[in-house]
């Protein structure tokens, strides 16, 4: 591609990224406007698409396809990104929802995590469309990845229903265009305790939700130590075992009132799925056979309810990963790394789609005040997409 074309492509990517940042797609909020924008860009370039909505039609996933002109058995490519961003804290030196370029860096919420990748994919759509493709190029844009991958499972379910169970998926999370081939799972929960309020001078007549929550937390800490003993051989992660963290305990209204309500926020990051199964089984047994009977003995309407906030499955290393080999063949980088943050990669992998995580920008900038992406990273991503095109034409 000529220098002039490269310049135009970079400018178009910046223009699209500027538009994307202006959509305030904070997790949990409506993302229809952004998805409609992406859908319009792709349809102008000959793509067909379908949408998967949440139950309220408030948030939506998009899956679009630029069909191959000459099918020859090559596996389809999926360019995958999430459209939501984390909330904005005070302290930004620029408007977080207005793209600002300074010193070859583009600032804005979501610039690197991960609207930068989506902008590159959209900017490259016209080139894919005009190319003599011999494999389909797909675009997968989801909602609410930042809140435990709420949107992507709905899309994955639809893909599975349609028999879409092969291909190469590139999840464009910010990795400085390095290949990530594994990460732990991320399971988030909130456990709610309801007991019986009363005067603190007669604790035997009440059921303290706070005290039972404290015993629950104690059990969590005990199980955290058990998880350390279950460390797999040759674990590739740091730390090498499944972790567990208590994010907060909330309950009670006064010193002299028995608390009737309390809830605990906690999460686990399993290195293998069996650790999550073990942990939840142990907790359920403790609740059903120990805590709850004691509470109900005093107050029959007592309850303990565990709410699943999100269960992001892990992304497992595949030593013969077709996706990793595909990316390596373009970038020339054969290295593989693991990360501590979660992605949607494991969801695609679970239905048989070979997956790699590789995208522009640095995770060091994600979720921070004055989030930015270096313009050079956008250029690297566009060069990578040029490689995807070259491997997808006759």
| Maximal C-alpha separation, the chain | 82
Question: What is the rounded distance in angstroms from the CA atom of residue 346 to the CA atom of residue 355?
Answer: 8
Question: What is the rounded distance in angstroms from the CA atom of residue 245 to the CA atom of residue 280?
Answer: 14
Catalytically annotated residue among 84, 144, 260, 371: 84
Q: What DSSP string describes 166-206? A: -SEEEE--SSTT--EEEE--EEEEEEEEE-B-EETT-GGGS
The closest alpha carbon to 137, from 80, 77, 81, belongs to 77
- The reply to whether 275 belongs to the active site is no
Catalytically annotated residue among 39, 136, 144, 145: 145
- The reply to whether 145 belongs to the active site is yes
Question: What is the rounded distance in angstroms from the CA atom of residue 378 to the CA atom of residue 67?
Answer: 25
**Cα dihedral sign, 40-18-176-4:** positive
Question: What is the rounded distance in angstroms from the CA atom of residue 161 to the CA atom of residue 264?
Answer: 36
Question: What is the rounded distance in angstroms from the CA atom of residue 265 to the CA atom of residue 338?
Answer: 26
Beta pairing, strands 198-199 & 186-194 = unpaired
Distances from the Cα of 57 to the Cα of 145, 181, 286, 319, angstroms = 17, 33, 39, 40
* Active centre residues (catalytic): 84, 145
């Amino acid at each position: 591609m000529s220098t002039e074309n490269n310049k135009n492509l970079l400018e178009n990517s910046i223009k699209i990224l500027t538009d994307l940042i202006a959509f305030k797609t904070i997790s949990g909020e409506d993302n229809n406007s952004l998805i409609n924008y992406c859908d319009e860009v792709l349809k102008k370039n000959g793509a067909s698409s379908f949408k998967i909505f949440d139950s309220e039609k408030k948030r939506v996933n998009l899956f679009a396809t630029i069909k191959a002109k000459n099918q020859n058995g090559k596996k389809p490519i999926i360019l995958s990104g999430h459209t939501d961003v984390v909330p904005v804290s005070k302290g930004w030196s620029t408007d977080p929802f207005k793209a600002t370029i300074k010193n070859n860096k583009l600032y804005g919420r979501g610039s690197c995590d991960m609207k930068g990748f989506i902008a590159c994919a959209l900017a490259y759509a016209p080139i894919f469309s005009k190319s003599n493709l011999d494999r389909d190029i797909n675009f997968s844009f989801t909602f609410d990845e930042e809140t435990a991958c709420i949107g992507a499972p709905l899309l994955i379910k639809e893909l599975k229903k349609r028999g879409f169970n092969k291909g190469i998926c590139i999840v464009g999370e910010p990795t400085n265009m390095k290949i990530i081939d594994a990460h732990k799972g991320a399971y988030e929960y909130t456990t709610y305790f309801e007991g019986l309020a009363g005067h603190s001078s007669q604790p035997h007549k009440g059921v303290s939700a706070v005290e039972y929550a404290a015993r629950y937390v104690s059990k969590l800490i005990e199980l955290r130590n058990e998880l350390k003993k279950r460390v797999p051989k040759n674990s590739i992660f740091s730390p090498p075992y499944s972790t567990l963290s208590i994010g907060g305990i909330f309950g009670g209204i006064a010193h002299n009132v028995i608390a009737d309500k309390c809830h605990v926020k906690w999460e686990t990051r399993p290195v293998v799925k069996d650790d999550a199964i073990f942990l939840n089984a142990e907790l359920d047994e403790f609740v059903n056979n120990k805590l709850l009977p004691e509470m109900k003995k005093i107050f029959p309407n007592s309850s303990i309810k565990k709410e699943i906030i999100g269960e992001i499955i892990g992304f497992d290393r595949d030593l013969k990963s077709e996706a990793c080999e595909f990316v390596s063949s373009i970038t020339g980088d054969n290295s593989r790394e693991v990360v501590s943050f979660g992605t949607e990669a494991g969801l695609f992998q679970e239905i048989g789609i070979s997956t790699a995580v590789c995208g522009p920008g640095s995770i060091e900038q994600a979720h921070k005040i004055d989030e930015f992406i270096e313009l050079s990273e956008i250029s690297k991503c566009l060069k990578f997409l040029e490689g995807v095109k070259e491997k997808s034409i006759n």
